[in-house]
Structure 1
Amino acid sequence: MASAAEVPGTSGKRVIPDHVPAELVFEPRYEEPNTLFDPFIVTKDVYEELPPIFYWPRPSPGRYDGTWVVTHYDDIAKVYQDDSIFSAQDASNFQGTIGETFKILPQSVDAPVHGPYRKFLSPWFTPKIINAQDDQIGRVINGLIDGFIDKGECDVSHDFCRPFPVLVFLNLMGFPEDRVEDFLAWEYAILADKRDIESVRWGSRHAIDYLRSFIEEVRAEPNDKLASAIVHGEIDGRPLNDDEIIGMLFMLFLAGLDTVSGTTGLIFRRLALDTELQQKLRENPKLIPGAVDEFMRLFPIVNASRMAVKDHEIRGVKIKAGDFVMCYAMAGNFDPDVFKNPRETILARQPNRHFSFGSGAHLCLGQHLARREMRMGIAEFLRRIPPFTVKPGADLTVYPGQIAARHVPVVWDKDAITK
């Protein structure tokens, strides 16, 4: 049973479950586009403006019509880490929008099912294996820089941050590089606006159809890449079945493209606006690893969700089995009870246990690769490109979330390039 109820901050009505108190229904506007120096400063008053847990009647195709939202660090950690109550089931269900029934693995299953799949994939993402990717990552980065360094300008988000993690991903998986624009188009259609069901369906259909055709190619001609290892893989002595194979490949497709691209674009936007900080990193490249984690905390573009599998209470609020709960990193990453001076950029912040890679058993499998890509991308760009600033008149709009800053036009003095 559900009833229609007025929603504060909206122009119409939404369908609100009967067990949700009207006073806990809100539709915040934090994720609307802005041009602020710090685009995530919009949540600075979240703990005064909203209760610690509230209901957001915003639909997610294939998953829910609305979700509970937790904003405090400890509550987010609880939701992420206790899968006996909060399940990763359907954590992503884009494939469900086109009638597919396979699970995205291992992201959308819980223990004990989750463990063997993660164990199977983990060896491909250890620090040792990632270290071996340095030469390839460097070639991709420098190849892109070669294409615009002599022009004295580029759209650093579109021309650099957008393609380089995708090219690294294609190589790791064994996908052909000439499909980079297709991958970017499909990924953007799925993730840019998850409420646009037709866009999600278009991107999901094209991506899944391509992956299935690629599976057949690799069945016939195995190689030493990750996609081939999955297609020909075994768990507990048995071959992976078709649903498991496409489930893993689609998960890697979704996870391998957007976080690095979006976050790095926001980092370069900040460096273009804050030339003092840019110069500090130029002069002290050893600060870049810490800076990457601090920027990830400051620019949380992913707010993941879990589904309650039993009735539960959070801060006295009753959550029903089947309800979804969003872990709102856009608030939790700035919780003053955990992070001292949370809105300040502290490059060597320790500890820095932010939620931008999630938490718990489903902590991002590719976090070491993501960090390496960002560290190398920033270091090489600063080494080769002279001091840069925002191109006069440029539109620096940010969409807090996975769209992030799609365009960051910057300029530099061509005569200052050191060959």
Structure 2
Amino acid sequence: MTYPSTLDAVRVDHPAPDHVPRDRLVDIRFALGGVPNDLVDPYAPSGWLSGPDIPRLLFSPTVPGEPGNPFAHPAGSWIVTHYADIERVYSDNELFSNKGTAEFQALIGETFPSIPLAIDPPDHHKYRMFLMPHFGPARLKLMDDDMRALVNEMIDGFADRGEVDIAWDFGRIYPVRIFMGLMGFPRDMFDQFLEWEWAILHSNSFEPIAAALRGVVDFLRGFISEKEKAPDDKLVSAIVHGTIEGRPLTGDEKIGIVWFLWLGGLDTVAATISQMFRRMALQPDIQDRIRADRALIPTAVEEFLRTQPILSSGRRAKQDFEWHGQQIKAGDSFQCFNPGGNFDPERFADPRTFDPARKPNRHMTFIAGVHICLGAPLARRELRILLEEWFRRIPAFRVKPGADTSVHPGLLSIRNLPLVWDV
């Protein structure tokens, strides 16, 4: 497949707000995970977007997504592709707002916010501080033995067989089981949760999205009610019975926090695992280096995260201002193109080379600023423990001959990826 490689190739002529220059109108949907490819580095086709000759602000006349996407913003969105600019959008809370982000529930008439993601400072701080102890090092360290036991339990099921579908039979399951255990959700909801999540994030059609939203919100409200009557030692119960600034949480705060954690806990790490093992299978020198020096695992995890950014996040301008010579209006939508930032040559030396020892490695995969991913420490721990146990038990591996290695470079990622090794 041929991918556009110049600005002229992605320029479009579509209606846009009057203050947006016509020469900044682009269609970069090819770079946002909707188009699969079979490259060892699946993010390579969009690398030129963070080059020094690319204007610092582009504009997509419609929010990137599939036709009929119910979340599309009719006015379009500014596209930010360079590291320094992405960092500013994520960090400048005076100019940029996160209000309304990931509030899919509004489609079915719900008015509770997604907490703390869609809450701007200063209120954001109190919610962040309320949740941080549950994702801090001391709490997560207590989960190490259970994570390690789960990894080995799963490896036991296929180690002697010499084959596993790392995406479907491992990546899809391992982080979700950890998340469900942390939250206290019943394990028999596993398949239903993934069905709901897939419909909400990947169907791009109103009917299945609305049905899934109603299903999950109704379930979460019922589960919250159960924990109000019968508390336990899990996170949902701690939220339900917790206090903020000395007062109990309101009903909207309870569902807003639990909903946000549910939405964020199901497939980001799964997508990362699938892409991580795909890269190692297609580029075996990476697994050779890690196997030879397992002290590289923490920095290798960061490099996997940098080179496979799963999500790009958005913000909205809070006021009129000028930036890079462009007039920005209050309410303008911004889409930060995290793959651009993570491969920006002004920030990372030789950015397209996978270096498992790379330091420093301050990538944008977990966003930045006050809204940096709450679950980042848990995700890092899950990946680190997985690699430690995997390289202890599994020989050098490769993709099963004849398998499709196509990947959507983003959250959609990989559904199936069979790996094999010599038993």
- Same fold per superposition (TM over 0.5): yes
Partner of 2:260: 251
Amino acid at match of 2:277: F
1:186-197 matches, within 5 Å, as 186-192=196-202, 195-197=204-206
Whether 1:146 and 2:156 are equivalent positions in the alignment is yes
Give the conservation status (yes or no) of the 8 Å contact 1:62–1:96: no
Structure 2 counterpart SS, 1:69: strand
Whether 1:44 and 2:47 are equivalent positions in the alignment is yes
Aligned residues: 407
TM-score, structure 2 length as denominator?
Answer: 0.92
Whole-Å separation in 1 of the counterparts to 2:264 and 2:409: 18
Deviation at 1:62, TM superposition (A): 4.1
Runs of 5+ consecutive residues of structure 2 not aligned to the other structure: 1-6, 64-68
State the percentage of identical aligned residues: 45
Specify which of 304, 320, 330 is matched with residue 329 of structure 2.
Answer: 320
Partner of 2:399: 390
Deviation at 1:50, TM superposition (A): 4.6
Partner of 1:417: none
Name the CA shift for 1:89/1:394 in 2 (closer, same or farther; >3 Å).
same
Whole-Å separation in 1 of the counterparts to 2:114 and 2:72: 13
Partner of 2:66: none
Whole-Å separation in 1 of the counterparts to 2:391 and 2:50: 37
Whole-Å separation in 2 of the counterparts to 1:152 and 1:50: 47
Partner of 1:261: 270
1:20-419 matches, within 5 Å, as 20-28=20-28, 29-30=30-31, 31=33, 32-47=35-50, 50-59=54-63, 61-62=70-71, 64-65=73-74, 66-192=76-202, 195-414=204-423
Amino acid at match of 1:397: S
Deviations 1:194-214 (A, max 9, x none): x43334323322221211111
Structure 2 counterpart SS, 1:68: strand
Whole-Å separation in 1 of the counterparts to 2:198 and 2:108: 17
Deviation at 1:376, TM superposition (A): 0.9
Deviation at 1:11, TM superposition (A): 12
Name the CA shift for 1:63/1:118 in 2 (closer, same or farther; >3 Å).
farther
Q: Which moved more, 1:14-23 or 1:220-229?
A: 14-23
Give the conservation status (yes or no) of the 8 Å contact 2:220–2:258: yes
Q: Which moved more, 1:14-23 or 1:117-126?
A: 14-23
Whole-Å separation in 1 of the counterparts to 2:277 and 2:56: 32
Amino acid at match of 2:359: Q
Whole-Å separation in 2 of the counterparts to 1:166 and 1:329: 24
Runs of 5+ consecutive residues of structure 1 not aligned to the other structure: 1-6, 415-419
Whole-Å separation in 2 of the counterparts to 1:201 and 1:58: 22
Name the CA shift for 1:209/1:108 in 2 (closer, same or farther; >3 Å).
same
Whole-Å separation in 2 of the counterparts to 1:12 and 1:365: 37
TM-score, structure 1 length as denominator?
Answer: 0.93
Give the conservation status (yes or no) of the 8 Å contact 2:11–2:25: no
Give the conservation status (yes or no) of the 8 Å contact 1:310–1:322: yes
Deviations 1:302-329 (A, max 9, x none): 1000111101222111221111111111
Give the conservation status (yes or no) of the 8 Å contact 2:12–2:27: no
Structure 1 counterpart SS, 2:16: strand
**Aligned-residue CA RMSD in angstroms?**
1.9
